[in-house]
Amino acid sequence: MDEESLKLSLIHNNSNGNPEEFDGDLPVIKGWRGLLQASGKESKKLWYLAGPAIFTSICQYSLGAITQTFAGHIGDLELAAVSIENSVIAGLSFGIMLGMGSALETLCGQAFGAKQLRMLGVYMQRSWVILLTTACLMTTIYVWSAQILKLIGQEDDIAELAGKFALWMLPQLFAYAMVFPLAKFLQAQSKVMAMAVIAGVALAFHVLFSWLLIFKWGCGLWGAALVLDLSWWIIVLAQLGYILSGTCNEAWGGFSWAAFHNLGAFVRLSLASGVMLCLEVWYLYLLILLAGYLKNPEISVDAISICMNLMGWEMMVSLGFNVAISVRVSNELGAGHPRAAKFAVLIVLVTMFMIGVILMVVIFITRNEFAVAFTSSEVVMKAVSKLATLLAFTMLLNSIQPVFGGVAVGAGWQALVAYINLASYYIFGVPLGCLLGYYFDFGVKGIWAGMISGTTLQTIILCIITYKTKWNREASQAIERIKVWGGSD
């Protein structure tokens, strides 16, 4: 389908044959003033999406972090158990569910842009079917989590308590299966402010009732698990209630048996999305695991953990813009506006590069001081200071790399990016990190440098692919993708 045919198709679909209702693509930009005006408009659209998305990510990220903090006041063993469950067991399920749910970013975003609103609700229900089935399969990991943790070298007492805590956290697993399709459904329609309000209310509930159950009523670890489960289900039920209240108009047409039709293509896209994201998430955790096999592993792991904590907060900002550019690209491609999609990518890259430079400079300036917020050990602070240069460069890289991930999801390139991630991270980055860290004895700096090289390679490849993308063709394929990957209703 050529561009003219695509426009005619969209005119028919979007405006019932009335060409006056067709908005058209991004107008030709003339001169610096035109560029500044267009950039300002696009920045407003991106920040409108990214701001609430960042706040939502921070609130949801804080749920587990606050539970860990309260667990630390119960005892050291409880803190270790919650930390292990939160990062290994819940971290695994979070990555898989978020990744598989991100298939909706492609389909719902492009369907919304193409005015195929009736399909959004069907797509969300199909995603629920797939993710709830996946959650049922993953319950075995929770049931056998103590044995799994012992198998990977965790101490018996920590593994046993973490395994018990994991069983209490099974409701959270099924909340993940519900909440990510809900989130992608709302994000595709730019209803991000409602998500931010719901996340803020859930966080306030979480803090208050964690304090009551743990400090005032002495409920211990099971109380912490109960509040964390309830907090996630508050988010699920509040978002579902918001949708059922009629705020989404044609996008929600009620529960439909069409959710069980044409699942094959949807499963393939969901699996590709899950693999793509999990390969990225596990790559970061692998850095800590590899550091644990070095000489003086305690110092290495503590130093890396402090740096990872800072990167985690930065990732909340990056994920916000990841969501924003995914929505912008998918909406514009679905609407048949290839130049608008390309311009959105350019603006978000410039924005995130500037944020990355600022963070990099801050790390360089405070390289001898920022570790004080996390530790009082002089040895650990010195080790963190030596890693500051790598951390600063990683901050810059991590501000740009998620943008390309958002573009990939918005355009529907998940399967391609999964292969790129596998090659860049695990065939190139990890072996190089092990070679530098163990064979050449550069320690944790060598492991990190090698793994950064893998991320750099992946970013360069995605940059080249994005630069060479024929956006007219992507817009044409968006309409076909809605039919082929999502199936009709």
The one-digit pLDDT tens for each residue of the chain (489 residues) are 444 444 434 434 443 333 333 345 677 777 788 888 999 999 999 999 999 999 998 999 889 888 888 888 888 788 888 888 887 888 889 888 988 888 888 888 888 888 888 889 988 999 999 999 999 999 999 999 999 988 877 788 888 999 999 999 999 999 999 999 999 999 999 899 999 999 999 999 999 999 999 888 888 899 999 999 999 999 999 999 999 998 887 888 888 887 787 777 778 888 888 888 888 877 877 776 687 777 777 677 778 778 877 888 888 888 899 889 999 998 998 888 988 999 999 999 999 999 999 999 999 999 998 888 777 788 888 988 999 999 999 999 989 988 888 888 888 888 899 999 999 999 999 999 999 999 999 988 999 999 899 999 999 999 999 999 888 888 888 777 666 655 444
Structure tokens at 448: 């990190």
Indicate whether 1 belongs to any domain: no
Indicate whether 25 belongs to any domain: no
Structure tokens at 187: 């994000």
Indicate whether 336 belongs to any domain: yes
Indicate whether 310 belongs to any domain: yes
* Predicted TM-score of the model (pTM): 0.82
Indicate whether 20 belongs to any domain: no
Report how far residue 221's alpha carbon sits from residue 218's, in angstroms, rounded to the nearest whole number. Answer: 9
Indicate whether 8 belongs to any domain: no
Report how far residue 143's alpha carbon sits from residue 145's, in angstroms, rounded to the nearest whole number. Answer: 6
Report how far residue 57's alpha carbon sits from residue 47's, in angstroms, rounded to the nearest whole number. Answer: 15
Q: 388-408 burial by CB neighbour count: b if 16+ within 10 A, else e? A: bebbbbbbbbbbbbbbbbbbb
**Residues spanned by the domain of 199:** 32-484
- Shortest CA distance to 177 belongs to which of 246, 104, 250? 104
DSSP class per residue in 344-355: HHHHHHHHHHHH
Indicate whether 10 belongs to any domain: no
User: How far lies 370's CA from each of 209, 386, 410, in Å?
Assistant: 31, 12, 36
Count up the domains in the chain and report the number.
1
Report how far residue 125's alpha carbon sits from residue 182's, in angstroms, rounded to the nearest whole number. Answer: 9
The residue to which tokens 């590709």 are assigned: 272
Give yes or no for a contact between 120 and 189, defined as CB atoms under 8 angstroms apart: yes
Contacts of residue 212, Cβ cutoff 8 Å, sequence gap at least 6: none
Report how far residue 124's alpha carbon sits from residue 486's, in angstroms, rounded to the nearest whole number. Answer: 11
Indicate whether 11 belongs to any domain: no
